[in-house]
A and B are shown apart, each in its own frame.
Chain A
Protein backbone atom coordinates (compact mmCIF):
# COMPACT_ATOMS: atom_id res chain seq x y z
CA UNK A 1 0.00 0.00 0.00
CA UNK A 2 2.69 2.42 1.05
CA UNK A 3 4.82 1.73 -1.99
CA UNK A 4 1.94 2.25 -4.43
CA UNK A 5 1.18 5.51 -2.69
CA UNK A 6 4.69 6.80 -3.30
CA UNK A 7 4.69 5.49 -6.85
CA UNK A 8 1.48 7.36 -7.58
CA UNK A 9 2.83 10.55 -6.06
CA UNK A 10 5.96 10.25 -8.17
CA UNK A 11 3.93 9.63 -11.30
CA UNK A 12 1.85 12.71 -10.59
CA UNK A 13 4.98 14.80 -10.17
CA UNK A 14 6.36 13.46 -13.42
CA UNK A 15 3.26 14.61 -15.29
CA UNK A 16 3.54 18.03 -13.70
CA UNK A 17 7.19 18.40 -14.59
CA UNK A 18 6.52 17.31 -18.14
CA UNK A 19 3.79 19.91 -18.27
CA UNK A 20 6.06 22.73 -17.24
CA UNK A 21 8.98 21.88 -19.42
CA UNK A 22 9.79 24.75 -21.67
CA UNK A 23 12.14 24.19 -24.54
CA UNK A 24 13.25 27.80 -24.55
CA UNK A 25 16.78 28.29 -23.46
CA UNK A 26 18.16 24.86 -24.13
CA UNK A 27 20.45 26.42 -26.69
CA UNK A 28 22.57 28.23 -24.16
CA UNK A 29 25.61 29.86 -25.61
CA UNK A 30 28.80 27.85 -25.34
CA UNK A 31 31.00 30.93 -25.44
CA UNK A 32 30.64 31.78 -21.78
CA UNK A 33 33.05 34.06 -20.06
CA UNK A 34 32.98 36.81 -22.65
CA UNK A 35 35.96 38.41 -24.22
CA UNK A 36 36.36 41.50 -22.11
CA UNK A 37 39.97 42.39 -21.27
CA UNK A 38 40.22 43.21 -17.59
CA UNK A 39 41.94 46.55 -17.12
CA UNK A 40 45.14 46.23 -15.01
CA UNK A 41 46.01 49.49 -13.35
CA UNK A 42 42.85 51.47 -12.92
CA UNK A 43 42.70 54.69 -11.00
CA UNK A 44 39.63 56.70 -10.19
CA UNK A 45 39.01 59.84 -8.20
CA UNK A 46 38.82 59.28 -4.46
CA UNK A 47 35.28 58.80 -3.17
CA UNK A 48 33.63 57.84 -6.44
CA UNK A 49 31.64 54.64 -6.85
CA UNK A 50 34.24 53.48 -9.39
CA UNK A 51 37.07 53.86 -6.86
CA UNK A 52 35.07 52.01 -4.21
CA UNK A 53 34.26 49.13 -6.54
CA UNK A 54 37.79 48.93 -7.93
CA UNK A 55 39.22 48.86 -4.39
CA UNK A 56 36.79 46.18 -3.30
CA UNK A 57 37.63 44.18 -6.41
CA UNK A 58 34.06 42.97 -6.67
CA UNK A 59 30.73 44.25 -7.97
CA UNK A 60 27.17 43.06 -7.41
CA UNK A 61 25.09 43.04 -10.57
CA UNK A 62 21.36 42.43 -10.84
CA UNK A 63 20.15 40.64 -13.95
CA UNK A 64 17.39 38.32 -15.13
CA UNK A 65 17.97 34.58 -14.75
CA UNK A 66 15.20 33.41 -17.07
CA UNK A 67 15.70 35.23 -20.35
CA UNK A 68 17.49 33.25 -23.04
CA UNK A 69 19.97 35.41 -24.92
CA UNK A 70 20.06 38.19 -22.32
CA UNK A 71 20.32 36.64 -18.90
CA UNK A 72 19.79 32.94 -18.37
CA UNK A 73 21.18 31.14 -15.35
CA UNK A 74 22.20 27.52 -15.54
CA UNK A 75 22.07 25.11 -12.60
CA UNK A 76 25.30 26.63 -11.22
CA UNK A 77 23.56 30.00 -10.83
CA UNK A 78 25.90 31.84 -13.17
CA UNK A 79 23.89 33.69 -15.81
CA UNK A 80 24.87 34.02 -19.47
CA UNK A 81 23.64 36.39 -22.12
CA UNK A 82 23.93 39.83 -23.66
CA UNK A 83 23.06 41.69 -20.43
CA UNK A 84 25.65 39.60 -18.64
CA UNK A 85 28.34 40.43 -21.19
CA UNK A 86 27.52 44.15 -21.01
CA UNK A 87 27.93 43.98 -17.23
CA UNK A 88 31.24 42.13 -17.70
CA UNK A 89 32.48 44.87 -20.06
CA UNK A 90 31.79 47.49 -17.42
CA UNK A 91 33.31 45.41 -14.63
CA UNK A 92 36.42 44.81 -16.74
CA UNK A 93 36.83 48.54 -17.13
CA UNK A 94 36.79 48.78 -13.32
CA UNK A 95 39.52 46.15 -13.11
CA UNK A 96 37.12 43.46 -11.89
CA UNK A 97 37.39 39.99 -13.45
CA UNK A 98 34.30 38.06 -14.51
CA UNK A 99 34.80 35.60 -11.65
CA UNK A 100 34.61 38.42 -9.13
CA UNK A 101 31.18 39.58 -10.22
CA UNK A 102 28.41 38.61 -7.86
CA UNK A 103 25.15 37.95 -9.73
CA UNK A 104 21.79 38.63 -8.15
CA UNK A 105 18.50 37.75 -9.78
CA UNK A 106 16.36 40.82 -10.33
CA UNK A 107 12.86 40.29 -11.72
CA UNK A 108 10.79 43.07 -13.23
CA UNK A 109 9.10 44.03 -9.99
CA UNK A 110 12.09 44.30 -7.65
CA UNK A 111 14.67 46.17 -9.71
CA UNK A 112 14.11 49.68 -8.33
CA UNK A 113 14.05 48.59 -4.71
CA UNK A 114 17.21 46.50 -5.13
CA UNK A 115 19.03 49.57 -6.48
CA UNK A 116 17.60 51.90 -3.85
CA UNK A 117 18.43 49.55 -0.99
CA UNK A 118 21.97 49.06 -2.24
CA UNK A 119 21.47 45.31 -2.71
CA UNK A 120 23.09 45.68 -6.13
CA UNK A 121 25.60 48.15 -7.58
CA UNK A 122 23.89 48.15 -10.95
CA UNK A 123 21.07 46.40 -12.78
CA UNK A 124 21.48 45.14 -16.36
CA UNK A 125 18.24 43.26 -16.91
CA UNK A 126 16.32 44.10 -20.11
CA UNK A 127 15.45 47.22 -18.18
CA UNK A 128 13.42 49.76 -20.15
CA UNK A 129 14.31 53.40 -19.49
CA UNK A 130 11.21 55.41 -18.63
CA UNK A 131 10.34 58.59 -16.77
CA UNK A 132 8.59 57.11 -13.75
CA UNK A 133 11.60 54.86 -13.10
CA UNK A 134 13.93 57.84 -13.52
CA UNK A 135 12.26 59.41 -10.48
CA UNK A 136 13.67 56.61 -8.32
CA UNK A 137 16.93 55.64 -10.00
CA UNK A 138 19.24 56.78 -12.79
CA UNK A 139 19.87 55.08 -16.11
CA UNK A 140 23.08 54.82 -18.08
CA UNK A 141 22.73 53.83 -21.71
CA UNK A 142 20.70 52.77 -23.62
CA UNK A 143 22.84 49.90 -24.82
CA UNK A 144 20.06 48.28 -26.88
CA UNK A 145 16.75 49.28 -28.48
CA UNK A 146 14.08 46.61 -28.21
CA UNK A 147 10.43 46.82 -29.20
CA UNK A 148 7.29 45.05 -28.04
CA UNK A 149 6.23 42.30 -30.43
CA UNK A 150 3.84 39.35 -30.55
CA UNK A 151 4.53 35.61 -30.60
CA UNK A 152 1.90 33.25 -32.01
CA UNK A 153 1.59 29.56 -32.75
CA UNK A 154 3.60 28.39 -35.77
CA UNK A 155 1.80 29.19 -39.00
CA UNK A 156 -0.07 32.06 -37.33
CA UNK A 157 -3.50 30.34 -37.57
CA UNK A 158 -5.36 33.46 -36.41
CA UNK A 159 -3.57 35.81 -38.80
CA UNK A 160 -2.38 38.22 -36.09
CA UNK A 161 -0.25 40.93 -37.72
CA UNK A 162 -0.07 43.55 -34.98
CA UNK A 163 -1.55 44.70 -31.68
CA UNK A 164 -4.83 45.81 -33.31
CA UNK A 165 -5.54 42.20 -34.27
CA UNK A 166 -5.47 41.27 -30.59
CA UNK A 167 -9.00 42.63 -30.00
CA UNK A 168 -11.12 39.84 -28.57
CA UNK A 169 -8.09 37.58 -28.43
CA UNK A 170 -6.46 36.13 -25.36
CA UNK A 171 -2.92 37.49 -25.04
CA UNK A 172 -0.38 36.44 -22.44
CA UNK A 173 2.28 38.47 -20.67
CA UNK A 174 3.86 38.83 -17.24
CA UNK A 175 2.12 40.67 -14.39
CA UNK A 176 4.05 43.79 -13.47
CA UNK A 177 5.78 44.17 -16.83
CA UNK A 178 5.73 47.16 -19.16
CA UNK A 179 4.30 45.14 -22.10
CA UNK A 180 1.32 44.05 -19.98
CA UNK A 181 0.64 47.66 -19.03
CA UNK A 182 0.96 48.70 -22.69
CA UNK A 183 -1.78 46.23 -23.71
CA UNK A 184 -3.94 47.14 -20.73
CA UNK A 185 -3.72 50.85 -21.53
CA UNK A 186 -3.69 51.04 -25.32
CA UNK A 187 -5.39 47.84 -26.47
CA UNK A 188 -8.14 47.28 -23.88
CA UNK A 189 -10.14 45.05 -26.23
CA UNK A 190 -7.57 42.31 -25.87
CA UNK A 191 -8.04 39.86 -22.99
CA UNK A 192 -4.92 39.71 -20.84
CA UNK A 193 -3.71 36.49 -19.27
CA UNK A 194 -0.92 37.23 -16.81
CA UNK A 195 1.58 34.82 -15.28
CA UNK A 196 4.70 35.49 -13.26
CA UNK A 197 7.23 34.27 -15.86
CA UNK A 198 7.25 34.10 -19.67
CA UNK A 199 7.91 30.37 -19.78
CA UNK A 200 4.37 29.82 -18.46
CA UNK A 201 3.06 32.00 -21.30
CA UNK A 202 4.86 29.75 -23.76
CA UNK A 203 3.27 26.69 -22.15
CA UNK A 204 -0.15 28.34 -22.26
CA UNK A 205 0.30 29.15 -25.96
CA UNK A 206 1.38 25.58 -26.61
CA UNK A 207 -1.74 24.32 -24.80
CA UNK A 208 -4.01 26.68 -26.72
CA UNK A 209 -5.05 28.49 -23.52
CA UNK A 210 -3.94 31.82 -25.04
CA UNK A 211 -3.82 33.04 -28.65
CA UNK A 212 -0.61 35.04 -28.44
CA UNK A 213 2.24 36.09 -26.15
CA UNK A 214 3.49 39.66 -26.09
CA UNK A 215 6.63 41.26 -24.70
CA UNK A 216 9.89 42.71 -26.02
CA UNK A 217 10.96 41.13 -29.31
CA UNK A 218 14.32 39.95 -27.93
CA UNK A 219 12.65 37.90 -25.21
CA UNK A 220 10.23 36.40 -27.73
CA UNK A 221 12.97 35.51 -30.22
CA UNK A 222 14.64 33.58 -27.41
CA UNK A 223 11.43 31.62 -26.87
CA UNK A 224 10.90 31.05 -30.60
CA UNK A 225 14.50 29.88 -31.00
CA UNK A 226 13.83 27.28 -28.30
CA UNK A 227 10.81 25.83 -30.13
CA UNK A 228 10.84 26.99 -33.76
CA UNK A 229 8.42 24.29 -34.88
CA UNK A 230 5.82 25.47 -32.37
CA UNK A 231 6.06 29.27 -32.26
CA UNK A 232 6.70 32.14 -34.59
CA UNK A 233 7.24 35.87 -34.21
CA UNK A 234 4.88 38.32 -35.87
CA UNK A 235 7.88 40.59 -36.40
CA UNK A 236 6.11 43.93 -36.19
CA UNK A 237 7.41 45.79 -33.11
CA UNK A 238 4.98 48.48 -31.97
CA UNK A 239 6.81 50.20 -29.09
CA UNK A 240 10.33 51.42 -28.38
CA UNK A 241 12.02 49.91 -25.37
CA UNK A 242 15.47 51.39 -24.84
CA UNK A 243 17.34 49.13 -22.42
CA UNK A 244 19.40 51.00 -19.85
CA UNK A 245 21.61 50.17 -16.89
CA UNK A 246 20.01 51.10 -13.60
CA UNK A 247 22.15 52.71 -10.89
CA UNK A 248 21.61 54.71 -7.72
CA UNK A 249 19.90 58.03 -8.33
CA UNK A 250 22.25 61.00 -8.34
CA UNK A 251 25.45 59.02 -8.96
CA UNK A 252 26.35 61.12 -12.01
CA UNK A 253 30.03 60.14 -12.07
CA UNK A 254 29.22 56.43 -12.22
CA UNK A 255 26.61 57.09 -14.91
CA UNK A 256 29.09 59.02 -17.07
CA UNK A 257 31.67 56.29 -16.56
CA UNK A 258 29.25 53.59 -17.73
CA UNK A 259 28.19 55.72 -20.69
CA UNK A 260 31.85 56.22 -21.66
CA UNK A 261 32.45 52.49 -21.37
CA UNK A 262 29.42 51.69 -23.50
CA UNK A 263 30.43 54.16 -26.21
CA UNK A 264 33.95 52.73 -26.26
CA UNK A 265 32.50 49.23 -26.68
CA UNK A 266 30.30 50.46 -29.56
CA UNK A 267 33.45 51.86 -31.19
CA UNK A 268 35.90 48.99 -30.75
CA UNK A 269 33.47 46.25 -31.73
CA UNK A 270 33.34 44.47 -28.37
CA UNK A 271 29.64 45.37 -28.12
CA UNK A 272 28.88 43.65 -31.44
CA UNK A 273 31.02 40.65 -30.45
CA UNK A 274 29.07 40.33 -27.23
CA UNK A 275 25.85 40.32 -29.26
CA UNK A 276 27.15 37.66 -31.66
CA UNK A 277 28.18 35.41 -28.78
CA UNK A 278 24.82 35.64 -26.99
CA UNK A 279 21.52 36.90 -28.37
CA UNK A 280 22.85 36.76 -31.93
CA UNK A 281 23.90 33.14 -31.54
CA UNK A 282 20.41 32.17 -30.41
CA UNK A 283 18.39 34.19 -32.89
CA UNK A 284 20.78 34.01 -35.82
CA UNK A 285 20.64 37.76 -36.34
CA UNK A 286 23.57 40.11 -36.86
CA UNK A 287 24.34 42.78 -34.31
CA UNK A 288 22.16 45.84 -34.94
CA UNK A 289 23.44 49.42 -35.10
CA UNK A 290 24.34 50.43 -31.55
CA UNK A 291 21.94 53.02 -30.10
CA UNK A 292 23.21 56.46 -29.12
CA UNK A 293 23.77 56.91 -25.42
CA UNK A 294 21.39 59.35 -23.74
CA UNK A 295 23.40 61.62 -21.43
CA UNK A 296 20.65 63.44 -19.60
Chain B
Protein backbone atom coordinates (compact mmCIF):
# COMPACT_ATOMS: atom_id res chain seq x y z
CA UNK B 1 0.00 0.00 0.00
CA UNK B 2 2.83 2.35 0.93
CA UNK B 3 4.40 1.57 -2.43
CA UNK B 4 1.25 2.69 -4.26
CA UNK B 5 1.15 5.96 -2.29
CA UNK B 6 4.84 6.61 -2.94
CA UNK B 7 4.40 6.07 -6.66
CA UNK B 8 0.99 7.71 -6.98
CA UNK B 9 2.26 10.25 -9.53
CA UNK B 10 3.44 7.52 -11.87
CA UNK B 11 0.16 5.61 -11.63
CA UNK B 12 -1.86 8.80 -12.09
CA UNK B 13 0.06 9.85 -15.22
CA UNK B 14 -0.22 6.38 -16.70
CA UNK B 15 -3.92 6.28 -15.83
CA UNK B 16 -4.52 9.59 -17.60
CA UNK B 17 -2.64 8.33 -20.65
CA UNK B 18 -4.76 5.18 -20.80
CA UNK B 19 -7.93 7.22 -20.24
CA UNK B 20 -7.19 9.77 -22.98
CA UNK B 21 -6.04 7.05 -25.37
CA UNK B 22 -9.30 5.16 -24.69
CA UNK B 23 -11.54 8.20 -25.12
CA UNK B 24 -9.91 9.40 -28.35
CA UNK B 25 -9.83 5.88 -29.83
CA UNK B 26 -13.48 5.43 -28.80
CA UNK B 27 -14.37 8.60 -30.70
CA UNK B 28 -12.52 7.44 -33.82
CA UNK B 29 -14.10 3.97 -33.58
CA UNK B 30 -17.67 5.21 -33.11
CA UNK B 31 -17.56 7.79 -35.89
CA UNK B 32 -15.75 5.58 -38.40
CA UNK B 33 -17.73 2.48 -37.34
CA UNK B 34 -21.02 4.28 -37.99
CA UNK B 35 -19.85 5.48 -41.40
CA UNK B 36 -18.71 1.96 -42.27
CA UNK B 37 -22.03 0.47 -41.18
CA UNK B 38 -23.89 3.00 -43.34
CA UNK B 39 -21.62 2.07 -46.26
CA UNK B 40 -22.26 -1.63 -45.74
CA UNK B 41 -26.02 -1.23 -46.04
CA UNK B 42 -25.92 1.43 -48.75
CA UNK B 43 -27.35 0.71 -52.21
CA UNK B 44 -24.03 1.57 -53.92
CA UNK B 45 -21.96 -1.62 -54.54
CA UNK B 46 -18.47 0.00 -54.53
CA UNK B 47 -19.17 1.55 -51.12
CA UNK B 48 -20.41 -1.78 -49.79
CA UNK B 49 -17.33 -3.52 -51.16
CA UNK B 50 -14.96 -0.97 -49.70
CA UNK B 51 -16.54 -1.19 -46.24
CA UNK B 52 -16.56 -4.99 -46.37
CA UNK B 53 -12.89 -4.99 -47.34
CA UNK B 54 -12.06 -2.64 -44.48
CA UNK B 55 -13.97 -4.64 -41.89
CA UNK B 56 -12.56 -7.99 -42.95
CA UNK B 57 -9.00 -6.64 -43.08
CA UNK B 58 -9.00 -5.05 -39.63
CA UNK B 59 -11.16 -7.66 -37.94
CA UNK B 60 -8.83 -10.45 -39.03
CA UNK B 61 -5.54 -8.70 -38.29
CA UNK B 62 -4.05 -8.86 -34.77
CA UNK B 63 -3.96 -5.43 -33.17
CA UNK B 64 -0.20 -5.76 -32.64
CA UNK B 65 0.25 -6.05 -36.39
CA UNK B 66 -1.89 -2.94 -36.92
CA UNK B 67 0.36 -1.12 -34.45
CA UNK B 68 3.49 -2.39 -36.17
CA UNK B 69 2.22 -1.20 -39.50
CA UNK B 70 1.28 2.21 -38.11
CA UNK B 71 4.52 2.82 -36.19
CA UNK B 72 7.15 1.00 -38.28
CA UNK B 73 5.48 0.25 -41.62
CA UNK B 74 4.27 3.72 -42.60
CA UNK B 75 7.68 5.40 -42.04
CA UNK B 76 9.03 3.07 -44.72
CA UNK B 77 6.93 5.04 -47.19
CA UNK B 78 8.00 8.30 -45.54
CA UNK B 79 4.87 8.77 -43.50
CA UNK B 80 6.03 9.21 -39.91
CA UNK B 81 3.32 9.47 -37.27
CA UNK B 82 3.95 10.27 -33.61
CA UNK B 83 3.58 7.44 -31.13
CA UNK B 84 0.49 8.65 -29.25
CA UNK B 85 -1.57 9.64 -32.33
CA UNK B 86 -0.35 6.40 -33.88
CA UNK B 87 -1.74 4.48 -30.93
CA UNK B 88 -5.07 6.35 -31.06
CA UNK B 89 -5.38 5.56 -34.77
CA UNK B 90 -4.32 1.92 -34.40
CA UNK B 91 -6.82 1.19 -31.64
CA UNK B 92 -9.52 3.38 -33.20
CA UNK B 93 -9.26 2.00 -36.74
CA UNK B 94 -9.15 -1.57 -35.41
CA UNK B 95 -12.14 -1.13 -33.10
CA UNK B 96 -14.15 0.63 -35.83
CA UNK B 97 -14.43 -2.70 -37.66
CA UNK B 98 -16.09 -4.26 -34.60
CA UNK B 99 -18.32 -1.22 -33.98
CA UNK B 100 -19.44 -1.46 -37.62
CA UNK B 101 -20.40 -5.11 -37.26
CA UNK B 102 -22.24 -4.56 -33.96
CA UNK B 103 -24.13 -1.70 -35.53
CA UNK B 104 -24.93 -3.67 -38.67
CA UNK B 105 -26.52 -6.40 -36.58
CA UNK B 106 -28.67 -3.65 -35.05
CA UNK B 107 -29.63 -2.36 -38.48
CA UNK B 108 -30.61 -5.89 -39.51
CA UNK B 109 -32.89 -6.09 -36.50
CA UNK B 110 -34.90 -3.06 -37.61
CA UNK B 111 -37.90 -4.38 -39.48
CA UNK B 112 -37.79 -3.76 -43.26
CA UNK B 113 -41.21 -2.13 -43.00
CA UNK B 114 -39.59 0.81 -41.23
CA UNK B 115 -37.23 1.51 -44.13
CA UNK B 116 -40.00 0.96 -46.67
CA UNK B 117 -42.28 3.36 -44.81
CA UNK B 118 -39.51 5.94 -44.75
CA UNK B 119 -39.05 5.58 -48.50
CA UNK B 120 -42.81 5.85 -49.00
CA UNK B 121 -42.75 9.17 -47.16
CA UNK B 122 -40.19 10.39 -49.71
CA UNK B 123 -37.11 10.31 -47.48
CA UNK B 124 -33.80 9.77 -49.26
CA UNK B 125 -31.55 6.85 -48.31
CA UNK B 126 -29.45 9.14 -46.09
CA UNK B 127 -32.51 10.55 -44.39
CA UNK B 128 -34.19 7.23 -43.74
CA UNK B 129 -30.92 5.81 -42.40
CA UNK B 130 -30.13 8.71 -40.09
CA UNK B 131 -33.70 9.54 -39.01
CA UNK B 132 -35.39 6.16 -38.89
CA UNK B 133 -33.10 3.15 -39.04
CA UNK B 134 -29.89 4.12 -37.18
CA UNK B 135 -31.61 5.54 -34.08
CA UNK B 136 -33.42 2.24 -33.64
CA UNK B 137 -30.29 0.25 -34.46
CA UNK B 138 -28.19 2.07 -31.85
CA UNK B 139 -30.81 1.45 -29.18
CA UNK B 140 -30.72 -2.27 -29.94
CA UNK B 141 -26.96 -2.70 -29.86
CA UNK B 142 -26.09 -0.89 -26.63
CA UNK B 143 -24.88 -4.06 -24.83
CA UNK B 144 -22.69 -5.46 -27.64
CA UNK B 145 -21.33 -1.99 -28.34
CA UNK B 146 -20.47 -1.72 -24.66
CA UNK B 147 -18.57 -4.99 -24.87
CA UNK B 148 -16.63 -3.79 -27.89
CA UNK B 149 -15.65 -0.56 -26.16
CA UNK B 150 -14.63 -2.22 -22.88
CA UNK B 151 -12.50 -4.68 -24.83
CA UNK B 152 -11.01 -1.67 -26.58
CA UNK B 153 -9.95 -0.11 -23.26
CA UNK B 154 -8.02 -3.27 -22.44
CA UNK B 155 -6.59 -3.41 -25.95
CA UNK B 156 -4.94 -0.03 -25.40
CA UNK B 157 -2.35 -1.93 -23.33
CA UNK B 158 -0.68 -2.97 -26.59
CA UNK B 159 0.46 0.65 -26.91
CA UNK B 160 2.96 -0.10 -24.13
CA UNK B 161 5.06 -1.96 -26.67
CA UNK B 162 5.03 1.07 -28.95
CA UNK B 163 6.40 3.80 -26.74
CA UNK B 164 3.20 5.00 -25.07
CA UNK B 165 3.63 5.15 -21.29
CA UNK B 166 0.19 3.90 -20.37
CA UNK B 167 -0.90 1.79 -17.41
CA UNK B 168 0.47 -1.60 -18.42
CA UNK B 169 3.88 -0.10 -19.27
CA UNK B 170 4.30 0.44 -15.53
CA UNK B 171 4.61 -3.31 -15.06
CA UNK B 172 8.07 -3.80 -16.61
CA UNK B 173 9.24 -0.40 -15.44
CA UNK B 174 8.33 -0.74 -11.77
CA UNK B 175 9.07 -4.45 -11.57
CA UNK B 176 12.60 -3.79 -12.78
CA UNK B 177 13.06 -1.05 -10.19
CA UNK B 178 11.54 -2.96 -7.27
CA UNK B 179 10.60 -6.54 -8.04
CA UNK B 180 9.68 -7.10 -4.39
CA UNK B 181 6.56 -4.96 -4.75
CA UNK B 182 5.13 -7.00 -7.60
CA UNK B 183 1.75 -7.48 -5.91
CA UNK B 184 1.30 -3.79 -5.22
CA UNK B 185 2.26 -2.94 -8.81
CA UNK B 186 -0.24 -5.44 -10.20
CA UNK B 187 -2.99 -4.12 -7.94
CA UNK B 188 -2.25 -0.55 -8.99
CA UNK B 189 -2.44 -1.39 -12.68
CA UNK B 190 -5.59 -3.51 -12.39
CA UNK B 191 -7.36 -0.86 -10.31
CA UNK B 192 -6.40 1.71 -12.96
CA UNK B 193 -8.13 -0.29 -15.69
CA UNK B 194 -11.15 -0.96 -13.49
CA UNK B 195 -11.56 2.74 -12.83
CA UNK B 196 -12.22 3.07 -16.54
CA UNK B 197 -14.05 -0.15 -17.39
CA UNK B 198 -16.40 -0.53 -14.40
CA UNK B 199 -18.00 2.94 -14.75
CA UNK B 200 -18.26 2.27 -18.50
CA UNK B 201 -20.09 -0.99 -17.85
CA UNK B 202 -22.39 0.78 -15.41
CA UNK B 203 -23.10 3.54 -17.93
CA UNK B 204 -23.83 0.98 -20.65
CA UNK B 205 -26.28 -0.76 -18.32
CA UNK B 206 -28.04 2.50 -17.47
CA UNK B 207 -28.30 3.57 -21.11
CA UNK B 208 -29.58 0.14 -22.11
CA UNK B 209 -32.40 0.31 -19.56
CA UNK B 210 -33.41 3.77 -20.72
CA UNK B 211 -33.35 3.27 -24.47
CA UNK B 212 -34.05 -0.41 -25.01
CA UNK B 213 -36.87 -1.02 -27.48
CA UNK B 214 -39.53 -3.45 -26.34
CA UNK B 215 -40.49 -5.52 -29.33
Contact = CB atoms under 8 A, between A and B. Distances in A.
Contacts of B162: 195, 200
Contacts of B73: 15-16, 18-19
A204 B180 CA distance: 33
B169 interface: yes
Contacts of B53: 5, 8
A56 interface: no
A208 B74 CA distance: 12
Interface in B45-76: 49, 53, 56-57, 60-61, 65, 68-69, 71-73, 75-76
B169 A194 contact: yes
B75 A176 contact: no
Interface size class of A (residues with CB under 8 A): 35 or more
A12 B169 contact: no
Contacts of B175: 109-110, 112-113, 176
A178 to B, nearest CB: 7
Interface string B75-106: 11000100100000000000000000000000
Contacts of B49: 1
A132 B174 CA distance: 12
B173 interface: yes
Given A16-B65, A113-B179, A132-B178, A176 B72 contact: no
Contact of B72 (A8, A13, A20): A20
B180 A178 contact: no
Contacts of A193: 83, 163
A200 to B, nearest CB: 7
Contact of B176 (A20, A109, A203): A109
Contacts of A19: 68-69, 72-73, 75-76
A186 interface: no
Contacts of B75: 19, 207-209
B44 to A, nearest CB: 16
B201 interface: no
Interface centre among B65, B76, B163, B171, by most A CB within 10 Å?
A: B163
Nearest to B53: A5
B1 interface: no
B160 interface: yes
A204 B72 contact: yes
Contacts of A200: 72, 161-162
B112 interface: no
B98 to A, nearest CB: 17
B173 A175 contact: yes
B165 interface: yes
B80 A209 contact: yes
Given A195-B163, A207-B80, A133 B179 contact: yes
A181 B177 contact: yes
A246 to B, nearest CB: 11
A209 B83 CA distance: 9
Contacts of A48: none
A167 B169 CA distance: 23
A100 interface: no
B4 interface: no
Contacts of B178: 132
B172 interface: yes
A99 B161 CA distance: 34
Given A195-B162, A207-B75, A209-B71, 10 more contacts: A8-B53, A9-B60, A13-B61, A15-B69, A16-B73, A19-B72, A112-B175, A181-B177, A194-B163, A207-B72
Interface of A: 1, 5, 8-9, 12-13, 15-16, 18-20, 107-110, 112-113, 132-133, 135-136, 172, 175-178, 180-181, 193-196, 200, 203-204, 207-209
6 contacts: A1-B49, A9-B61, A13-B61, A193-B83, A204-B163, A209-B75
Interface of B: 49, 53, 56-57, 60-61, 65, 68-69, 71-73, 75-76, 80, 83, 160-163, 165, 169, 171-173, 175-180, 182
